[in-house]
Homo-oligomer: A and B are copies of this chain.
Amino acid sequence: MEDELIFNNFQKHISLCHLEKQKLKSALLERQMGRKEIALHQGQICRKIYFVQSGSLRAFYINEDGKEFTIMFAVCDWWITDMNCFANQNPAMLTIESLEESQVLELDFHRLEELYKEIPKLERFFRIIFQKAYIREQLRALHNISYSTIERYQQFVENYPAIVQKATQKQIASYLGVTPEFLSTVKKKK
């Protein structure tokens, strides 16, 4: 069945009975996205958290000068949203866009709040998900301040080969915190 991926994702950390799966299934809205389609616009209230069933997405911030800063990528089997604005139901700072034909499952903020009550195990599930997300961000901060640009690029290529396929170098550069021009020269020199 086609929902295997999401339930497999849940069951990495918690076990679900049939009824619970039913509830979750009905809460998850399937959405097909074309290449470069936008799931969340900066400024919109961020009402959903997204689970990537296939394809890949990118979350980025646009500053006053119109420059894009990629905050995260998400591939198959990952969750993504503007967590700050999702958690507080504020206007989004981030834009979330698909890098290619993708299929996502949308989970609504208020529905999730209800689900936490109906299926308390979900608290555990997202406790573990957020714990991992926190660890990832902390490691990223550590890498940013202790490795050179070329080292960080090499680690990125190693860790996320699937993203390297789909993202442009400009997007990867903005994730690493450098200009595309500089990434280009640094890659050649190596």
Contact = CB atoms under 8 A, between A and B. Distances in A.
A61 B132 CA distance: 19
A132 B135 CA distance: 12
A66 B48 CA distance: 44
B138 A83 contact: yes
A146 interface: yes
Tell me which of A69, A123, A142 has the highest count of chain B C-beta atoms within 10 A of its own C-beta.
Answer: A123
A146 B175 CA distance: 11
Given A84-B135, A134-B134, A71 B127 contact: no
Given A123-B124, A127-B123, A130-B127, A177 B145 contact: yes
A107 to B, nearest CB: 14
Contacts of A126: 127, 131
Contact of A144 (B84, B93, B132, B144): B144
B138 A141 contact: no
A60 to B, nearest CB: 10
Contact of A141 (B67, B71, B146): B71
Given A61-B146, A120-B123, A123-B123, A87 B131 contact: yes
Contact of A134 (B124, B130, B144): B130
Interface in A82-107: 83-84, 87, 93
Lowest 8 CB-CB distances: which A-B pairs, in order? A137-B137, A127-B127, A130-B130, A145-B177, A123-B123, A123-B124, A134-B134, A133-B134
Interface of A: 61, 63, 67, 69, 71-72, 83-84, 87, 93, 116, 120, 123-124, 126-127, 130-135, 137-142, 144-146, 174, 177
5 contacts: A61-B142, A63-B146, A120-B120, A137-B141, A144-B177
